[in-house]
Chains A and B, each alone.
Chain A
């Protein structure tokens, strides 16, 4: 399939949950407060989906499936940022006033959310081809902020819900992928040494 068509389809699919949330809210079926959890969770899930194909293809080797996944990785990351912004929008709608938002800024469940969002801004802001070319190796370094954003985002979740399981269930696939990557690296190093 044409890459442009694939991208367009990916964007449409990625937008569906968000549009559904906005629609239900505009129809008065749900409160802004009710949309906080789904929008935040969606952001975390997309972040994880963007972070998985790298280590997995490192370990299992490149194939068509991983190439397609890697090709839309940046879109997944930008979509994760989009859902984080939607999450913020629902938060603002829920709080209604800046004073109320500032008043609770010091609560750990809240400032962790702001921090995670702030950490997503630089990687999202340079997610276009020209920036990638200009920044070269530094581009990857900036993208690594996502690791921190994810961890702090998960802490934000745990602090609000006081339930470990959902956050850990989300972290588990990444932990496995990272460990596989480590195993793969160890294997490659040994092979190189034995060849030398």
Chain B
């Protein structure tokens, strides 16, 4: 009896370890390599940038070293876009977790 339950315990520990060792490949982990925050462009400039895209802005926040914009497009799509804080370049756009845009050459 003890032998069997130990076997199960090992299995549990194994599954647990396997699960925890999974890499977190996350859109929350977009890396912009933006450098020190003192060089970042102000959020007002970012808002203008998003406005030029024709989006309705819902929320702007700093996510890691990126600017993150929650917005609605002209066609009513709910999107989540990451901008480089220094160049204000649009790097990657997600729609409900599905990537719909990635700037050419951006791998972060």
Q: Is A95 touching B8 in the complex (CB atoms < 8 A)? A: no
Q: Is A14 an interface residue (CB 8 A)?
A: no
Q: Is A135 an interface residue (CB 8 A)?
A: no
Contact with A along B6-36 (1 / 0, CB 8 A): 0010011001100110101111110000000
Q: Is B76 touching A99 in the complex (CB atoms < 8 A)? A: yes
Which of chain A's residues has its CB closest to B19's CB?
Answer: A168
How many chain A residues sit at the interface, stated as a range, is: 20 to 34
Contact A162 B78, CB 8 Å, known A108-B98, A172-B16, A175-B12: no
Contacting residue for B76 out of A100, A175, A187, CB 8 A: A100
How many residues of B are in contact with the other chain, CB < 8 A? 28
Contacting residue for A100 out of B20, B22, B77, CB 8 A: B77
Contacting residue for A107 out of B22, B59, B75, B95, CB 8 A: B95
Q: Is A104 touching B12 in the complex (CB atoms < 8 A)? A: no
Q: Is B1 touching A187 in the complex (CB atoms < 8 A)? A: yes
Measured between beta carbons, the chain B residues less than 8 angstroms from A129 are: none
B-binding segment of A48-56, A67-75, A76-84, A178-186 = A178-186
- Nearest-neighbour CB distance to chain A for B13, whole angstroms, equals 10
Q: How many A-B residue pairs have CB under 8 A?
A: 76
Q: Is A58 an interface residue (CB 8 A)?
A: no
Q: Is B8 touching A162 in the complex (CB atoms < 8 A)? A: no
Q: Is B104 an interface residue (CB 8 A)?
A: no
Q: Is A31 an interface residue (CB 8 A)?
A: yes
- Nearest-neighbour CB distance to chain B for A8, whole angstroms, equals 38
Q: Is A109 touching B8 in the complex (CB atoms < 8 A)? A: no
Contacting residue for B12 out of A33, A110, A176, A186, CB 8 A: A176
Distance in angstroms between the alpha carbons of A163 and B47 in the assembled complex? 27
- Known: A103-B75, A110-B96, A179-B11; 12 extra A-B contacts, CB below 8 A, are A99-B76, A103-B76, A103-B77, A107-B97, A160-B97, A162-B24, A162-B28, A162-B97, A168-B22, A172-B19, A182-B8, A187-B1
